[in-house]
Amino acid sequence: MTLTPEHESFRDSVRAFVAAEIAPHVNAWDEANSFPRALYRRAAHIGLLALGYPEAYGGTPADTWFRLIATEEIARAGSGGLMASLFSHNIGLPPIVAHGSEALKRRVIPPVLAGEKIAALAITEPSGGSDVAGLRCTARRDDDHWVIAGDKTFITSGMRADWITLAVRTGGKGAAGISLIAIPGDTAGLTRTPLAKMGWWCSDTAQLHFENCRVPADHLIGIEDAGFRMIMENFNGERLLMSAGALAFAQVCFDEALDWARQRQTFGAPLVEHQVTRHKLMDMRMRLASTQAWLHEMVARLEAEDTGAEWVAQLCLLKNHATQTMQWCADAAVQILGGMGYMRGTRSERIYREVKVMMIGGGAEEIMKELAARQLGL
């Protein structure tokens, strides 16, 4: 990974933003199960929300390395919940950018990138998560509207999203009958229920219920019954960013554990001088290095447009490898910190609680293995 002066300048600005606007407050936000909506505007002000989006809609053209840098620096605060909700537009907007009508793009995208509105993606249902082809939420055409009925769950930014990119069944059974529709958050008949979670406390997570919600027909994203492929394409971007996030949080665990090991005195010497601790730290470094090399190779191939079935397979496996690295490093960090690692307020404690959602969200480990095998023709 060779960074330009522009990349490094961007890193400095994001690091300063995190130090001033996020790190001092993240513990309180976690305990409050929320963070201020005003943070979206402040993040937009330094260009965080617009990265990689078209200039015509308020975006800032940027390669994937810029997004990796943003992920690494936001992760320094040690809150996956903050990252998930603050950047939920990165899974909610791409289908609209790629397939939405010009009118829909101009209505939805600019205010989201400006931090004035919040966007979310709603695919998972109470009846199933990874089985997208089996979703049951329906949309039927009634003159110039769609009438939507059904439920979604585990929706990031679900409580306060102003725009929801919703996966619905508009046709017959299976993948061929699925569409995507953009739903305004104030649609009559939409009710939202907050969900309590193991981790990601400050992330807004909700269950959504659609009771015959009427949405204008022109809110359809792309072509009717062609949503499954859009969802699969969207998952690729989500899984790449989740891999980057997992690696970044693993690095935070290593940094906190190393700092503690250097300061903590045990049996008359710093903890880091004990061989068992040094070996644990080196095991962390080994996993970090392998994950970083794999991630950077995948990003380089993406930037070179060297993607296809084999790249998708590698991405699925990378997502598993990165989240396993995060899991191992979080566990090792808490062990090195000892009692302090069990206390709320340390970054490693929070990350330890947040590991499982990273291993499940965006496609559970088992699904990732199966999808990779199919992409490789096995």
Q: What is the pLDDT of residue 128?
A: 74
Q: What is the pLDDT of residue 127?
A: 83
Catalytic-labelled residue, pool 21, 72, 73, 238: 238
Helices (H), the chain: 5-17, 26-32, 38-45, 64-75, 80-86, 89-92, 94-99, 102-113, 227-263, 275-303, 309-337, 347-360, 365-375
**Residue 178 φ then ψ, to 5°:** -110, 140
Q: What is the pLDDT of residue 1?
A: 64
Q: Is residue 73 annotated as a catalytic residue, yes or no? A: no
Q: What is the pLDDT of residue 282?
A: 97
**Residue 179 φ then ψ, to 5°:** -130, 170
Read off the tokens for 88. Answer: 């939920």
138 within 8 A of 215, measured Cβ to Cβ: no
The amino acid present at 143, given as its one-letter code, is D
- CATH assignment of 229-375, among 1.10.3720.10, 1.20.140.10, 3.40.190.10, 1.20.1290.10: 1.20.140.10
Domain 119-224 has CATH 2.40.110.10: yes
147 within 8 A of 140, measured Cβ to Cβ: yes
Q: pLDDT of 153-182, one tens digit each?
A: 999 999 999 999 999 999 999 999 999 999
Q: What is the pLDDT of residue 322?
A: 98
- pLDDT < 70 stretches in the chain: 1, 129
Buried (b) or exposed (e) across 62-96, using 16+ Cβ within 10 A?
A: bebbbbbbbbbbbbbbbbbbbbbbbbbbbbbbbbb
Tell me the CA end-to-end span of the chain in Å, nearest whole number.
32
DSSP 18: I
* Domain range summary for the chain, segments of one domain joined by +: 5-113, 119-224, 229-375
Q: How far is C-alpha 238 from the chain's CA centre?
A: 6
Q: Which residues pair with 214 in a beta bridge?
A: 147
Q: What is the pLDDT of residue 178?
A: 96
Q: pLDDT of 104-155, one tens digit each?
A: 999 999 999 999 999 999 999 998 767 888 899 999 999 999 999 999 999 9
Architecture of the domain delimited by 5-113: Orthogonal Bundle (1.10)
**Residue 50 φ then ψ, to 5°:** -90, -5
The amino acid present at 176, given as its one-letter code, is A
